[in-house]
């Protein structure tokens, strides 16, 4: 081995294989300079190996890292970590309860729930297609309310109305109704009042049923003013066009009247036997004429005046609840609260079901965003490593 | 190493006691790795604690692909390299500091001259190590000071074995050049270790 080869091998000392190490040593024994170099290498190597042998690890290191690890192992007590779960639950409750309230108010998902109906209903309907607005009719009450029908004859229309009222001032409101009736030229056809005044018995209350005949031309005005008495619970109007029946009946009446007149004329020249027969026939005709005339008279009368039924119910004033016993009031309150809570829960379920499609879309979007985010984070971690 | 595997498994689940038992035999190595890499005790203390904390926090990511010690050394070495990058200057260790604290526990048969020589040798090596580049220093410290094999160092530095060998050789050569003026300290026929003398 030459010194140059020796120096090359020496660079890898002390990691040389055994044979090469021995070759190195053999050369070193023959060459002083190479021997010196080997000694330096060996000493350096051994010194490096012994560098830490007699060193002591500072006590601060031992206690320091142990303490740091234990601190890090403790559950995180940051305010955010502690409250994160509660805030999430509170936010979910706000969304569900708020959404349910908005749905019940009809702001969100309108029509989803069976909302309460308004207290007063005003219905106007006609029995046939030729309903005639009464305001267009002739205002001659004696002749009835007539208008031209499609066939050129005046229409015969019957008007009816029904009014349900609640009142906290029963007596005063009854007098108002009577005053209105007189003011508009109407008449009381029927009146019935029963029950005990609420002032005497909080659980009772009076009830009045009135059947009024109001001139047809004044019907609208009467209903408008009567609707301001107490609280209107219900109002209905109906219109019935009986023109066809009326004129058919009128025609038959005319026909039978003519028949009667011919028979009366025949009686002047009839024999005794013919007189008897004519008398019999006249009797039958008269009966028919009376019936038909009666019908005509009824329609005339009904067409002239509208029939209005008014019901007046006595109620306790607001804020002055009946003096129920405490137990009964608590029971009623509990029952009402339970029913209300049950209704709210049912509405909440409807709201949640309506939200399902939106929640599903949101969940998919969050999942996709989450996957992208964690993918990027993992990639960054790998690149850092 | 069944007991070690159990400790690793528990430590991965966040058991601090298991981690302490697992790392207790290695804390010395971690500390001295940091000391030799950073060159001063203050930085070594900070770096070593940082390294331990990093190892603790990374336990959940240890999958067992590499040996635990290799994985542990990798984290500690990276902690040292990170700290070196953050530092602007690597202060040289004052002679007085080493004379006061780095006294070799020499044999009773050694006289004061031999003890002084050993101390001077050590100081020279430490100063020489400090003058190496970070990568060469890491290679030579892991091999010649910590005693890791080439394969282990390859895993720690995430570098091929051939590159590791090359770095170690270059580091030794460079260290020898740095210590050339002090080579008379390494020319003695007697080498002092903590336990006794060893002849060449």
* DSSP H/E element including A243: helix A243-267
ipTM: 0.78
Question: pLDDT digit string (tens) for B50-104?
Answer: 999 999 999 989 988 889 999 999 999 999 999 998 885 555 444 334 334 443 3
Q: How confident is the model at residue B186 (pLDDT cuts 50, 70, 90)?
A: low
A51 touches chain B (CB under 8 A): yes
Nearest CA in chain A to B198: A46
A29 touches chain B (CB under 8 A): no
- The encoded tokens of residue B148 equal 């890791």
What's the confidence (pLDDT) of residue B52?
96
Q: Is the pLDDT assigned to residue A321 strictly greater than 60?
A: no
Q: Is the pLDDT assigned to residue B198 strictly greater than 90?
A: no
What's the confidence (pLDDT) of residue A112?
67
Question: pLDDT digit string (tens) for A10-59?
Answer: 878 888 888 888 888 888 888 888 888 888 888 888 888 888 888 889 99
Q: Are the Cβ atoms of A65 and B103 closer than 8 angstroms?
A: no
CA–CA gap between residue A204 and residue A200 (Å, rounded): 8
Between A and B, how many CB-CB pairs are < 8 A?
A: 117
CA–CA gap between residue B47 and residue A379 (Å, rounded): 27
CA–CA gap between residue B146 and residue B30 (Å, rounded): 9
Question: pLDDT digit string (tens) for A242-262?
Answer: 999 999 999 999 999 999 999
On chain B, the residues whose CB falls within 8 A of the CB of A42 are 191, 200
List the single best residue of B49, B146, B164 to mutate versus A (max A Cβ within 10 A): B49
What is the nearest CA distance from A371 to chain B, expressed in angstroms?
20
Q: Do residues A216 and A306 make contact, with C-beta atoms less than 8 angstroms apart? A: yes
What is the nearest CA distance from B9 to chain A, expressed in angstroms?
16
User: Considering only CA atoms, which of A174, A179, A209 is closest in space to residue A194?
Assistant: A209
What is the nearest CA distance from A13 to chain B, expressed in angstroms?
9
Considering CB atoms only, which of A42, A51, A65 is closest to B200? Answer: A42
Pairing of strands A231-241, A154-167: antiparallel
A357 touches chain B (CB under 8 A): no
What's the confidence (pLDDT) of residue B110?
57
pTM of the complete model: 0.46
On chain A, the residues whose CB falls within 8 A of the CB of B154 are none
Question: pLDDT digit string (tens) for A220-240?
Answer: 999 999 999 999 999 999 999
Nearest CA in chain A to B44: A61
């Amino acid at each position: 081995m030459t010194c140059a080869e020796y120096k090359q091998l020496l660079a890898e000392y002390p990691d040389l294989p055994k044979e090469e190490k021995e070759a190195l040593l053999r050369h070193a024994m023959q060459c002083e300079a190479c021997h010196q170099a080997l000694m330096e290498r060996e000493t350096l190597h051994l010194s490096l190996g012994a560098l830490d042998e007699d060193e002591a690890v500072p006590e601060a290191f031992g206690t320091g890292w142990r303490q740091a690890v234990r601190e890090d192992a403790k559950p995180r007590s940051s305010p955010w970590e502690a409250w994160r779960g509660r805030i999430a639950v509170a936010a979910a409750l706000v969304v569900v309860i708020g959404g349910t309230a908005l749905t019940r108010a009809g702001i969100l998902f309108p029509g989803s729930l069976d909302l309460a109906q308004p207290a007063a209903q005003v219905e106007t309907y006609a029995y046939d297609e030729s309903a005639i607005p009464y305001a267009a009719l002739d205002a001659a009450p004696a002749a009835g309310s007539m208008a031209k029908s499609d066939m050129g004859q005046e229409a015969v229309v019957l008007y009816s109305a029904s009014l349900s009222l609640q009142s906290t001032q029963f007596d005063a409101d009854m007098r108002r109704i009577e005053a209105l009736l007189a003011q508009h030229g109407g008449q009381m056809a029927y009146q019935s009042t029963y029950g005990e005044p609420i002032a005497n018995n909080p659980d009772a209350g009076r009830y009045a049923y009135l059947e009024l005949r109001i001139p047809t031309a004044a019907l609208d005005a009467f209903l408008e003013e009567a609707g301001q008495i107490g609280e209107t619970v219900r109002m209905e109007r109906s219109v019935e066009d009986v023109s066809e029946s009326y004129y058919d009946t009128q025609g038959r009446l005319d026909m039978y009247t003519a028949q009667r007149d011919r028979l009366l004329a025949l009686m002047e020249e009839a024999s005794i036997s013919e007189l008897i027969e004519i008398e019999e026939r006249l009797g039958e005709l008269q009966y028919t004429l009376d019936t038909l005339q009666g019908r005509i008279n009824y329609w005339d009368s009904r067409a002239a005046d509208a029939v209005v039924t008014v019901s007046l119910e006595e109620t306790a004033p607001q804020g002055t609840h009946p003096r129920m016993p405490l137990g009964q009031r608590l029971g009623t309150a509990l029952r009402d609260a339970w029913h209300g809570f049950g209704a709210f829960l049912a509405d909440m379920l409807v709201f949640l079901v309506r939200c399902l499609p939106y929640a599903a879309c949101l969940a998919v979007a969050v999942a996709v965003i989450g996957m992208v985010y964690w993918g990027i984070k993992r990639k960054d971690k790998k690149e850092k490593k | 190493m069944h007991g070690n595997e159990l400790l690793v498994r528990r430590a991965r689940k966040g058991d601090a006691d298991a981690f302490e038992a697992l790392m207790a035999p290695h804390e010395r190595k971690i500390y001295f790795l940091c000391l030799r890499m950073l060159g001063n005790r203050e930085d070594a203390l900070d770096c070593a604690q940082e390294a331990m904390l990093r190892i603790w926090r990374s336990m959940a990511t240890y999958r067992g692909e590499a040996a635990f010690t290799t994985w542990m050394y990798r984290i500690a070495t990276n902690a040292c390299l990170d700290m070196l990058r953050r530092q602007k200057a690597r202060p040289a260790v004052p002679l007085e500091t080493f004379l006061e604290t780095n006294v070799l526990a020499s044999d009773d048969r050694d006289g004061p001259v031999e003890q002084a020589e050993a101390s001077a040798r050590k100081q020279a090596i430490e100063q020489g190590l400090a003058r190496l580049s970070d990568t060469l220093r890491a290679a030579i410290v892991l091999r010649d000071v910590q005693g890791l094999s080439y394969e282990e160092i390859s895993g720690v530095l995430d570098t091929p074995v051939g590159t590791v060998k090359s770095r170690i050789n270059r580091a030794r050569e460079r260290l020898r050049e740095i210590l050339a003026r002090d080579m008379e300290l390494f020319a003695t026929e007697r080498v002092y270790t903590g336990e006794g003398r060893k002849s060449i």
